Amino acid sequence: MRLLFLHNNFPGQYARIIKHLNGRKGIDILAVSRAGNRQPSPVRRIDYEPHRSVSEQVHPALRYTEEAVIRGQAVYKALAPARAKGWRPDVMLAHSGFGDGLFLKDLWPDARYMPYLEWYYRAYGSDASFFDERAKDPNVELRIRMKNTVILQDLAAMDWGQSPTQYQKSQFPGVFHGRMSVLHDGVDTDYFAPDPRETLTIGSHVFRRGDPLVTYIARGMEPYRGFPQFIEAVSLLQRMHAGVHAVVIGEDRIAYGPKDKASYKQWALETFRPDLGRLHFLGRQPLSVLRQVLRVSAAHVYLTAPFVLSWSMMEAMATGALIVGSDTEPVREVVDDGRTGVLVPFFEPPRLAQRLLEVLAAPQRYEDIRRRARALMLQRYDERELCARYVRLIETVAAGGRPGPAGHGPVRESVRMPEAAVI
């Protein structure tokens, strides 16, 4: 079976399934990614590069679409030689929304297309209205709606779609739900496992399990992941608890949401004035350091607007960290308040600080929650089981079948398996 994976930052969300499939007998994998992506690829890869940037004259609501079309065109040109040599994929998998998969069906009309459907944009009812529920400027509404243009092309072209969580699937128009499976990428529960012997050294401080250490991990320091609320809560907590320290992993940038400030880190520090001797910014770190931080964490804060759920929250749960998370839809899908974590209102830093103080004051009361959180990751999100389901999903789509719920295999119907799909 020949598989084509496209991601502008490959492997991205495909990292786990690529690792699972790579080297398997009968599997031929070709990856496509942007030339500037320097991440090593374990499989054969073709690079593409757009021939120009977006025109300044294009309508503002179409800038995202034009960029995607230019990118899709570059992918088409990069793959044309492979088609000319007779290479044909059985299933084409692309991260939807960026344009990489936009013209795949023009290259190979008979190949099955299965995009990774991460997010569908809405002006109201999710992330875009979370911080301000008032009616938006019509031009803003227009830009948000038109941002879905490329995603709608994928939805129309797909033979089947995959979304990682029920909440993320729910954001897509209901007319497409019947051709979408909910299947998470999975968590490496062997790597992200508890170790009571772990230590974390930051300067002259050596942290161990049981120390009053609060942790926070995100790609950027931004409102979408509750960074301002976290810093305000830390500042309050430091006044309540003389020995508490906090660690932040992430870059001083905005990865998601409007870029309203040049640096939310600087703004938050100036606004809330936490004790910087007990607040440690580690920047971007490898997984090994992330795991160290989670293993010694007394409470791991994960806050998010109604948006894409972060891998880091589930990795924290697998490591046995206690999640103190926002009471928002993506978090509630995984975290059961009082059983597998603790939920607090997103916009109430004093409540967050108080809950953190309670956790630090009586950590033994939360040991069962930690154990249940890891057990949930083992039962529902272990990458071995989910990768096995992923393979069954790909095989079913390649055969032209209709997958069952959550990629568990085909529904009962007569399906002819094409020769190209036989492993």
Q: Model confidence over 286-342: pLDDT tens digits?
A: 999 999 999 999 999 999 999 999 999 999 999 999 999 999 999 999 999 999 999
The reply to whether 154 and 251 lie within a common domain is no
Each residue's pLDDT tens digit, 87-127: 999 999 999 999 999 999 999 999 999 999 999 999 999 99
CA distances from 389 to 148, 182, 305 (A): 28, 11, 29
Domain count, the chain: 2
| 212/230 Cα distance (integer angstroms) | 16
- Torsion from C-alpha of 28, 91, 154, 387, nearest 10 degrees: -80
Query: Residue 125 falls within a domain, yes or no?
Result: yes
Boundary of a domain, candidates 341, 360, 379:
379
The reply to whether 158 and 276 lie within a common domain is no
Question: Kind and range of the H or E element at 301?
Answer: strand 299-302
Predicted pLDDT of residue 411? 43
**Could you tell me the pLDDT band of residue 406, with boundaries at 50, 70 and 90?**
low
For residue 76, pLDDT beyond 60: yes
CB-based burial label for 320 (10 Å; 0-12, 13-18, 19+): buried
The reply to whether 237 and 181 lie within a common domain is no
The reply to whether 350 and 329 lie within a common domain is yes
**Could you tell me the pLDDT band of residue 413, with boundaries at 50, 70 and 90?**
very low
Whether residue 11 has a cis bond before it, omega within 30° of 0:
yes
Query: Residue 159 falls within a domain, yes or no?
Result: yes
Query: Residue 414 falls within a domain, yes or no?
Result: no
Contact 296/211 with Cβ under 8 angstroms?
yes
Give long-range contacts, CB 8 A cutoff, 24+ apart: 59-63: 60/139, 60/143, 61/139, 61/142, 61/143, 61/145, 61/146, 62/146, 62/149
| 252/260 Cα distance (integer angstroms) | 14
Q: What is the DSSP string of 337-355?
A: BTTTBEEE-TT-HHHHHHH
CATH of the domain at 157: 3.40.50.2000
For residue 85, pLDDT beyond 60: yes
**Could you tell me the pLDDT band of residue 404, with boundaries at 50, 70 and 90?**
confident
Of 324, 132, 348, the C-alpha closest to 228 is 348
Which range of residues forms the domain containing residue 83? 2-186+382-409
Query: Residue 221 falls within a domain, yes or no?
Result: yes
For residue 256, pLDDT beyond 50: yes
Which tokens hold the place of 19? 């690792």
Residue with tokens 């939807």: 96
| 30/43 Cα distance (integer angstroms) | 7
- Percent of the chain exceeding pLDDT 70 equals 96
- Torsion from C-alpha of 150, 151, 152, 155, nearest 10 degrees: 130
- Percent of the chain exceeding pLDDT 90 equals 94
Predicted pLDDT of residue 239? 98
| 305/331 Cα distance (integer angstroms) | 9
The reply to whether 211 and 321 lie within a common domain is yes
Backbone angles phi, psi at 114, to 5 degrees: -130, 90
Query: Residue 241 falls within a domain, yes or no?
Result: yes
Q: Each residue of 225-235: b (16+ CB within 10 Å) or e?
A: bbbbbbbbbbb
Q: Of the ranges 93-97, 171-175, 271-275, 410-414, which one carries the lowest mean pLDDT score?
A: 410-414
The reply to whether 169 and 243 lie within a common domain is no
Q: What is the mean pLDDT of residues 156-162?
A: 98
Q: Of the ranges 24-28, 46-50, 256-260, which one carries the lowest mean pLDDT score?
A: 256-260
E strands, 123-257, are 161-163, 180-182, 199-202, 205-208, 213-220, 245-251
Instruction: Dihedral sign for Cα 99, 104, 109, 114, please.
Output: negative
Mean pLDDT of the chain: 95
The reply to whether 238 and 309 lie within a common domain is yes
| 49/42 Cα distance (integer angstroms) | 20
Q: What is the mean pLDDT of residues 268-281?
A: 98
Q: What is the mean pLDDT of residues 55-62?
A: 95
Contact 217/293 with Cβ under 8 angstroms?
yes
The reply to whether 181 and 254 lie within a common domain is no
Alpha helices (H) along 277-420: 287-296, 311-318, 329-332, 349-361, 367-380, 383-398
The reply to whether 389 and 326 lie within a common domain is no
For residue 185, pLDDT beyond 70: yes
For residue 229, pLDDT beyond 80: yes
Query: Residue 420 falls within a domain, yes or no?
Result: no
CA distances from 176 to 100, 116, 163, 396 (A): 20, 13, 12, 18
Q: What is the mean pLDDT of residues 185-189?
A: 97
Query: Residue 417 falls within a domain, yes or no?
Result: no
The reply to whether 141 and 260 lie within a common domain is no
The reply to whether 230 and 177 lie within a common domain is no
Query: Residue 191 falls within a domain, yes or no?
Result: no
The reply to whether 181 and 223 lie within a common domain is no
Predicted pLDDT of residue 405? 61
Q: What is the mean pLDDT of residues 380-387?
A: 98
